[in-house]
């Protein structure tokens, strides 16, 4: 799995590629909390276009990002979810909890 950050206007987009599972989900958590808590970015978008699989530990990292964004008053956005990622969020009844957009254009226009 790879994570890279880029700035678009006042937002940070975290591009993730590969699979997110128990072996690497702490990296996702760390990257999210760095942007939200340490850097105080007002809008953080997680680009999951390149993510084929995400497990419950990955979902837990997303929840941590969501909680941190609520505590700091920032926005945490997901986009580019494939069927697998949507299904796991749906089963966990979390899909409606997140701001989810189809692609980067929609996410940045929101």
Partner 1 sequence: MNAIAMKQPQAMKNSSKLSRAFLLKLELRSHPTLLCVVRGALEPLMEMLGFSPEQNRAIIRAVDEAVSNIMRHSYHGRPNMPIEVYCNRVQRRANGETEQGVEILLFDCGPAVDTTKIQARPLDEIRPGGFGLHIIRGSMDSVQYKRAGRLNRLRLVKYARPSEGGCGSAEEKPS
Are 79 and 46 a contacting pair, CB within 8 Å?
yes
Task: Compute the distance between CA of residue 88 and CA of residue 91 in angstroms, rounded to an integer.
Answer: 5
Q: Does 8 bind partner 1 (CB under 8 A)?
A: no
**Minimum CB–partner distance for residue 90 and partner 1 (Å):** 9
| Residues facing 6 on adjacent strands | 13
**Minimum CB–partner distance for residue 10 and partner 1 (Å):** 26
In the set 4, 23, 105, 106, which binds partner 1 (CB under 8 A)?
Answer: 23
- Residue numbers 63-82 binding partner 1 by CB under 8 A: 63-64, 66-67
Task: Compute the distance between CA of residue 47 and CA of residue 107 in angstroms, rounded to an integer.
Answer: 10
Are 79 and 107 a contacting pair, CB within 8 Å?
yes
Q: Which H or E run contains 100?
A: strand 99-101
Between 55 and 99, whose beta carbon lies closer to partner 1? 55
Q: Does 19 bind partner 1 (CB under 8 A)?
A: yes
Residues binding partner 1: what is the number (CB under 8 A)?
23
């Amino acid at each position: 799995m790879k994570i890279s950050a880029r700035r678009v206007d006042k937002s940070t987009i975290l591009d993730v590629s590969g699979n997110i599972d128990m072996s690497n989900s702490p990296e996702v958590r760390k990257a999210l909390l760095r942007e939200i808590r340490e850097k105080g970015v007002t809008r953080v978008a997680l680009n999951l276009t390149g993510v084929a699989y995400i497990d419950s530990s990955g979902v837990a990292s997303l929840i941590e990002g969501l909680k941190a964004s609520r505590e700091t008053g920032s926005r945490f956005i997901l986009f580019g979810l494939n069927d697998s990622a949507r299904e796991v969020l749906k089963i966990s009844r979390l899909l409606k909890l997140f701001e989810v957009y189809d692609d980067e254009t929609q996410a940045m226009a929101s």
